[in-house]
């Protein structure tokens, strides 16, 4: 059975909405480095953080992730 891995689309949505990493970091109360790590898929936000991100970016939770192999 093939294991699915998911990568977040935060970087793409930030670019589409012309929102800076600094602005998102400020809105969420995290460092810009944290946002950068999320954007590079080095680390992933927690479930509560994903809800906050979707609210700040005004997008659906399902839009924040896409499957890849």
| The predicted structure's pLDDT at residue 4 | 58
The full set of domain ranges for the chain reads 5-63
Alpha carbon distances (Å) from 17 to 1, 50, 55? 37, 17, 13
| The predicted structure's pLDDT at residue 65 | 86
- pTM to 2 decimal places: 0.84
Q: Where are the beta strands (DSSP E) in the chain?
A: 5-8, 65-68
Other beta carbons less than 10 A from residue 64's beta carbon: 20
Question: pLDDT digit of tens for each residue in the chain (69 aa)?
Answer: 666 567 889 999 999 999 999 999 999 999 999 999 999 999 999 999 999 999 999 999 989 987 654
| The predicted structure's pLDDT at residue 5 | 63
| The predicted structure's pLDDT at residue 3 | 60
Architecture of 5-63 per CATH?
Answer: Orthogonal Bundle (1.10)
């Amino acid at each position: 059975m093939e294991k699915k891995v998911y990568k977040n689309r935060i970087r793409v949505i930030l670019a589409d909405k012309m929102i800076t990493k600094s602005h998102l970091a400020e809105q969420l109360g995290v460092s810009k480095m944290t946002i950068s790590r999320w954007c590079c898929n080095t680390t992933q936000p927690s479930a509560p953080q994903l809800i906050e991100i979707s609210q700040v970016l005004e997008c659906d939770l399902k839009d924040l992730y896409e499957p890849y192999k």
